[in-house]
Amino acid sequence: SPLQEMLAAPSSFKKSHVLSVTQFTRADLHLLFQIAQEMRLGVQREGVLDILRGKVLCTLFYEPSTRTSASFDAAMQRLGGRTIPIQTSTSSVQKGETLQDTLRTLACYSDAIVLRHPDEKCVDVAKKYCPVPVINGGNGSKEHPTQAFLDLFTIREELGTMQGLTITFVGDLLYGRPVHSLVYLLRHYQVKVQLVSPKALRLPPAVRQQLVDAGQLLCESEALTPEILGRTDVLYCTRVQKERFPSLAEFEAVKDSYRIDYSTLKYAKPTTVVMHPLPRNEEVAEEVDFDQRAAYFRQMCYGLYCRMALLALVMS
């Protein structure tokens, strides 16, 4: 079948760690998205596929998660495999076990591990000590590769192409890891980027520099102006990452910098898509949910198909 052929095609995913988006080529991404399309059809037609029967995935989250953990779990089950969710609050992590020993342990019981950890260096530990593939489900404020995959997939599904688009990132560009991973992936496409954030929450210099080098940085602003909105094809909103701030006062000072509502959308195109990795707080008003341009709920559905595709590529 075409799906079996695609899964057999050479790619950087095969039996490999997925730690940073910088590991992957444009061809890798397109293979992933093609497979995600097939997964969508497969789930719609059959509910559960047979692709990872007999395989086991461990999910190891040292930080809260709803979508990433549940969608990986669901993805594994819809591929015919099984999941072992590890609760760090009741595991030997509480007895002081190191990450490397925890990974070594879970590698004995599983074929791959999804890891979310507050320390960005956790990916180095994974690379060094874990004999089975580790999929990065978020390392500190650094990266969140699988979120960026599903974000790209969402844009392609919603708008048909990446080419020629203007993408506006709004909010916490400093600590928001989905933004960092997505910006790194944008180098594969002909897009323009607008950055809207408070001064204190600007994109980290290294990430910003990539946009500059690629000639993709269209503008930077502290205000989300009608002009910026009028040029926007994708409005990518973010939660201000309270848990990453050095102090509560610094968080309080910027937490309500932006709020997308009906009056904001007035200035956007009828075709603009509003995205958000979720969870949201106050930055997107509930009234926006009822506008067709709100894509964030569809975005989390696409996440299932992208994670199925990823697991199938890495584990089969």
Shortest distance (Å) from residue 299 CB to ligand NCD: 9
144 a catalytic residue = yes
**3-class state of residue 312 by DSSP:** helix
Which of 249, 314, 316, 300 has the alpha carbon at shortest distance from 69? 300
Residues in contact with ligand NCD, shown as a per-residue x/- string from 263 to 282 under the rule CB under 6 A: --------------xx----
Task: Give yes or no for residue 117 binding ligand NCD (CB under 6 A).
Answer: no
Q: Which is nearer to ligand NCD, 7 or 72 (CB)?
A: 72
Shortest distance (Å) from residue 68 CB to ligand NCD: 4
Type of residue numbered 263: S
DSSP class of 50: S
The one catalytic residue among 40, 55, 78, 144: 144
Residues in contact with ligand NCD, shown as a per-residue x/- string from 148 to 187 under the rule CB under 6 A: -----------------------------xx---------
95 a catalytic residue = yes
Q: Which is nearer to ligand NCD, 6 or 122 (CB)?
A: 122
Task: Give yes or no for residue 147 binding ligand NCD (CB under 6 A).
Answer: yes
The one catalytic residue among 45, 95, 128, 199: 95
Shortest distance (Å) from residue 177 CB to ligand NCD: 5
- List, as own/partner pairs, every contact residues 262-270 make where C-beta atoms lie below 8 angstroms and the sequence separation is at least 24, other chains included: 262/287, 262/288, 262/291, 264/224, 264/229, 265/291, 265/293, 267/226, 267/229, 267/230, 268/229, 268/230, 268/232, 268/235, 268/293, 269/230, 269/232, 269/233
Q: Which is nearer to ligand NCD, 78 or 144 (CB)?
A: 144
Shortest distance (Å) from residue 36 CB to ligand NCD: 17
Task: Give yes or no for residue 231 binding ligand NCD (CB under 6 A).
Answer: no
The one catalytic residue among 55, 116, 156, 255: 116
Sheet holding 134-139, edge to edge: 82-87, 56-61, 112-117, 134-139
SS3 content of the chain, % helix, strand, coil (to 5): 45, 15, 35
Shortest distance (Å) from residue 286 CB to ligand NCD: 17
The one catalytic residue among 40, 55, 68, 83: 68
Shortest distance (Å) from residue 275 CB to ligand NCD: 11
**3-class state of residue 113 by DSSP:** strand
Separation CA 311–CA 82 (nearest Å) = 12
Per CB under 6 A, contacts with ligand NCD among 59-98 are 67-68
Task: Give yes or no for residue 138 binding ligand NCD (CB under 6 A).
Answer: yes
**3-class state of residue 74 by DSSP:** helix
Separation CA 315–CA 56 (nearest Å) = 9
Per CB under 6 A, contacts with ligand NCD among 237-266 are 239
Strands (E), the chain: 56-61, 82-87, 112-117, 134-139, 166-170, 192-196, 217-221, 234-237, 273-275
Task: Give yes or no for residue 144 binding ligand NCD (CB under 6 A).
Answer: yes
Which of 152, 224, 219 has the alpha carbon at shortest distance from 189? 152
Residues with a known catalytic role: 67-68, 95, 116, 144
- Contacting residues toward ligand NCD, per CB under 6 A: 67-68, 138, 144, 147, 177-178, 239, 277-278
